[in-house]
Each structure stands twice: as C-alpha cells, then as structure tokens.
Amino acid sequence: MKKSLKAILALTLAISVVLSMTGCGGEQRTQLKVYNWGDYIDQSVITEFEKRYNIDVIYDEFATNEEMYAKIKAGASDYDILIPSEYTIKRMIDEDMLHKIDLNNIPNYKYIDDKFKNLAFDPSNEYSVPYTWGTVGILYNKTMVKEPVNSWKILWDEKYSKQILMMDSLRDSIGITLKMLGYSLNTKDDKELNDAKEALMKQKPLVLAYVGDEVKDKMIGGEAALAVVWSGDAMYMKRENPDLEYVVPKEGSNMWFDSVVIPKTSQHKKEAELFINFLCEPEIAYKIANYIGYSTPNTEAVKMLPEEVRNDKTAYPPDEELARCEVFEDLADSLVKYDRIWTEVKAQ
Amino acid sequence: MKKHLMAYPYALWMLIFTMIPLALILFYSVFAIDDAGIHFTLDNFKRVFEPLYLAVFWRSIKLAAESTIICLVLGYPMAMILAGKNLSKKSILVVLFVIPMWMNFLARTYAWMTLLEKNGLIATIAGFFGIDLPSLLYTEGAVVLGMVYNFLPFMVLPIYSVLVKIDKTVVEAAEDLGANPITVFRRVIFPLSIPGVSSGITMVFMPALTTFVISRLLGGAHFTLIGNLIEQQFLTTMDWGFGSALSIVLMLMIMLSMGVTMRYEKENEGGGLW
C-alpha cells in the first residue's frame, strides 16, 4: 500500500512539473478567451488572428444568453470577449459587469453602419460593438401555405392546426403575441400581458410544438407549415429547402443585435480591443457573415456579399420594415410576470 | 493503511458534490437576497403550492407513474425470460439488452424524434400499407414512450438479478407439493422478487419524475414537467429562490417514495439499491 502511494505521489509531482513548464511556455504568447454562440464564427478567422498577432485564442461556445450570463455572473471564468444579445448586454451594463471599450483603439469601427450605433441598450456606444443583427419573423412552406403571409394572425388560424411551430423562448413567443395585439414587446402593463396570455392559451391547441434549434430540421424536412424563427436561421433554412419563405409581419417584430463586449473579468483589455478591431475589418466581417449566414452591420462587408444575399429581404430588410421593429429591453423585475405567463400557457 | 483513511476521498467527494450543493439549494430556497440584505422568507415555498405549480407536479407524477407501470408490465416478463433456466445464450441476450444503454441518452431520444415525426420512418411505413397515422410526435404518448424506452433497463436489470438468485430448489419444492405454475409464480417467485421490483420501481420512477429533456424533445415542450420548470427558473428567469424551493419539494417527494418502496425491500436480497 505504502509503495503504491509513493508511486502515485511521484506521478502527481511529475505531472505537475510538466504542467507548470507548459504554463511557462504559454506566458510568452498572450491568451485571449472568447465566449460566443455555438457555430457563430468562421474558424479560419480565429486562426488568422492568432497568426497575425501572435496571440492564442481559447474559443468556447454557449447556447443561450442566460447560460452565458449565469456563468459570467458566477465569477469563476476569465473571458476577454463575449458576444451576447442586446437585452443581456443592457443587463450587464446595469450590473457593472462590462469594461468600457476605447473606440480609439478600434479604427475599423467606422465601417459599422450608423443605423446600428447609439442604440437604446448602449446609447453612446461605450460598451459594445455590433457583430450581427436580424429580425424575428414567420418562416412558411409555400407548398403548404397558399395564401399571402403578412400578419402574425396566421399563427392563430385554425386551418393550420398542428402545423405551427413556436419558439420555446418566453421573450420571443410572448413578444410576437404582444406585437400581434398591437402592443410593445417590452410592455410591463398587466392588462396587455394578460391579453397576450389569453391569446397564447387560445393558440396552444393549434401549436405542433414549442421548439429550439430543432426548428431547422423540422422546417427543412417539411414537418410543419409555419414557424417563428430568427432571420439568420431563416437564411440557412431557405438555402436548404427552396420551398421556404420568410416574412416580417406587418404588425412589426423584434429586431435584435449580438454585439461584442469585454467583461470586467478580462485581464487583457488591449488584446480584446485588438480582436474587436479585427472583427470589424471588412474582409473578416465578410468571411464571418458569409459563413454563418447572419446579417453583418459592416457596410463594406455587405458590399462583398454575393448579390442574391445582399438583396435578400430576409437578411437585409428595407428600412421601413425595420422601422416597425422594436428592440428588446431588459425587463428587470417584470421578467417574473413573463415567466408566470409562459408557465401558465405551457402547463395548461 | 487503515480502512477508514481510504474512505476520506469519498467523504470529501460527497461533501463537495452532494452536501454543499444541497446546503446551497436549501439556503437559496428560504433566504431572499435584496438591497436590504439577507432575510428569511417562506414565500418561495408558498408559491410552490399555488394551483398552477401543483398542476405541473401532478402531471409529472402522473406521467412518471404511467411510465413506471408500463416498465414493470413489460420488464418483469423480460427479466423472467432472461433469467429462464433453459436459455443457453443468456449472457448474449443480456448484453444485447444493455448495449443501447451505452449510447448517449440524448442521441437515443433524438432518434425517436426522427422515427415518430410526420414524415418519419413509422409514418412512412404505415403510409405504405395505406394507414394514415395521426401525429405521433409531440403527444403525451410520445413522452411516455420516451420514458419507457430510456428507463426500461433500469426496471429489468434489478428484477433479473434477483430472479437468477432465487434458489431453484424452492421452486421445485413448490412444484413437488402440487402447485401449478400460476400458484408457483404467485406464491413463491413473485414474493421472492419483491426487492428487485421495488428497486426497479424506484430507479424508473425517479428519473422519470425529474426528466426535462424527454418532455421537451418528444413532447414539443407542450407538457411542462417539474424538471422543465426548475430549469426555467435557473436559466431563464434567474429566480434561483423559487427554483430551489421547487427542487427541495421534489427531493422530499422522491425521499417519500423511496421510503415507501424501501419498506418492501428485505435486506441482503441482492437486488436492492441501498
């Protein structure tokens, strides 16, 4: 017994020596820790950044804003770059979790379209730089839906009973319902929220399922006629199945942003800003947009995209359509009301 | 080295990964943290007993009970076949039965999605024979099916391990004394297999009660179970207090059901869990 214990001790010692040696080796190259959505970058871009600036990038992925937020809030991580959505950024700004970004270090910021600057969640562009943007809308299968689709009301049409896919996300599903009713999707008014709840309960028997990422498989495979989706996913699905078409209903919708931020946990703010500047380089932004299919806020990158993508209203809707869209705001304490509605609808 | 020294790593493990998390959940459930500091509250528990959430508990218990009963009805004969004395390739059968368990649980559940969907394999085959099936995926039946499929081995294996250990001479004695096969089963085999049955029931009922992936994927999130509710509190709403209170109530329910099944378990019968 004693002998084996000694052996184990020796082994642990040896391993820790080896580990500490590699640790020393890493110190010459700075490490930049990036935390982004799953499948949301062209990996070759990362390699290019590492080569050009002699910096190691450690790249991790998350599936929801909430998951990312919970991890950062817990405090055990040391990420340098995060790419959350706007309402989470607002929350992080309010909770003093983000570094201010020095735009002097980001000369390529000039390529970002002005209409994506000075947005409500970060009014003076101090904390975030837009990475992608898009809308929420209805994706429908032209072989199953013969009538024109232009209103959220079609999701309440009994003709399409059990052919409708909703998002399993309380902000999005309640948000579009509020829009259908003509309310703001950031409302905190009890009566308006109650109307939305009743509408969602009425809709429930017609809904085939409340889904997450599976929506892509289901719509491409023709399992449902109508689905509520993000524009970026719609681009992908349309490419895979030409019968699909995407529309932002006339009542308006949600417009969203995923922007790059630097959390206070970062020890490498300089390198993080270097990385953000790199992402704003037209050539790089083009590569990313081309790969992930989501819309880029980079004016020069848009010009490089193939014409059919650039002119696709799904990814690059006309301004008057965007004018009808609202951006999510952080609901703070009212989120509980939304949660309750969502539970009531789904527990029915 | 003394024996109790060897136990320290396990004790440490239990402390870090069981005791401390439990204590944290208990803490979050009864203490509210706000600007005024930390104060004791039972609001979270009051909320758990609102009709809305009780309905979710009730549905979870109902679906878990249904799956457990189906698992028992399917699993017991299966265990008897596996334990049967005139089966020569028994071990191969057992291995075949266990192999699907080696595959990731999520992958298996996704596989059922493709089988059950409207243009899926089952509907296509039925359509070939002119049968127009109603929608199979995203129904309560699909959720129960997913539970039964995933948890059936947990029912079969404990019963099997008890059945193979039953002293064959006891069965022979009953037969010699004139008992017919039904009586032998009813009066001898089944009573002796109760420990296996009760641990099987526990091992199926508990994961079925707490699952949230099966109801999301196969139920299309139509059927909120208690697991979904807890997940939503921690990841979406960030209401850790309420999520913790739900978890505590769920844990109490599990302990209660364990207490009930444990009464039927005799010691050292081999099939027991504890």
Q: Mind listing the domains of chain B with CATH numbers?
A: 1-41 (no CATH), 49-262 (1.10.3720.10)
Whether the per-residue pLDDT at B248 is higher than 60: the answer is yes
| pLDDT value at residue A20 | 52
Contacts of B56 in chain A (CB under 8 A): 343, 347
**pLDDT confidence tier of residue B268, bands split at 50, 70 and 90:** very low
In angstroms, the CA B57 to CA B229 distance is 10
In angstroms, the CA A160 to CA A144 distance is 9
| pLDDT value at residue B232 | 86
Mean pLDDT of chain B: 87
From B61's Cα to the closest Cα of chain A, the distance in A is: 14
Q: Are A253 and A179 in contact (CB under 8 A)?
A: yes
- Contact flag B222-A1 (C-beta cutoff 8 Å): no
Whether the per-residue pLDDT at B5 is higher than 90: the answer is no
Sign of CA dihedral B215, B216, B221, B225: positive
From B114's Cα to the closest Cα of chain A, the distance in A is: 10
From B99's Cα to the closest Cα of chain A, the distance in A is: 27
Query: B35-39, B50-54, B181-185: lowest mean pLDDT where?
Result: B35-39
| pLDDT value at residue A1 | 42
To probe the interface with A, which of B138, B143, B212, B240 has the most A CB atoms within 10 Å?
A: B138
Query: Minimal Cα distance from A204: which residue of B?
Result: B222
Contacting residues for A323 by C-beta, under 8 A, at least 6 apart? none
Which of the two residues, B257 and B29, has the higher pLDDT score?
Answer: B29
**Amino acid occupying residue A198:** E
Percentage of the residues of chain B whose pLDDT score is greater than 70: 93
- Contact flag B222-A204 (C-beta cutoff 8 Å): yes
Please write the tens of the pLDDT for every residue from B43-95.
999 999 999 999 999 999 999 999 999 999 999 999 998 887 666 677 788 78
In chain A, which residues have pLDDT < 50? Answer: 1-2, 23-26
Query: Minimal Cα distance from B119: which residue of A?
Result: A223
From the list B1, B224, B239, which residue is nearest A347 (CB)? Answer: B224
Whether the per-residue pLDDT at B113 is higher than 50: the answer is yes
Please write the tens of the pLDDT for every residue from B133-180.
777 889 999 999 999 999 999 999 999 999 988 888 998 899 899 889
- Chain A segment 145-174 residues within 8 A of B by beta carbon are 162, 168, 170
**pLDDT confidence tier of residue B131, bands split at 50, 70 and 90:** confident
ipTM value: 0.79
| pLDDT value at residue A38 | 86
In angstroms, the CA B145 to CA B139 distance is 10
Q: What is the DSSP letter of B265?
A: P
Q: How wide is the angle at C-alpha A64 spanned by C-alphas A58 and B224, nearest 5°?
A: 145
Neighbours of B108 (CB within 10 A): 14
Q: Are B25 and B247 in contact (CB under 8 A)?
A: yes
Q: DSSP per residue over B87-110, as a string?
A: -TTHHHHHHHHHHHHHS-HHHHHH
* Domains in chain A with CATH codes: 29-133+257-316 (3.40.190.10), 134-255+321-347 (3.40.190.10)
Contacting residues for A344 by C-beta, under 8 A, at least 6 apart? A197, A201, B52
| pLDDT value at residue A27 | 52
From A49's Cα to the closest Cα of chain B, the distance in A is: 33
| pLDDT value at residue B130 | 83
| pLDDT value at residue B87 | 62
| pLDDT value at residue B274 | 44
Structure tokens at A187: 């409302």
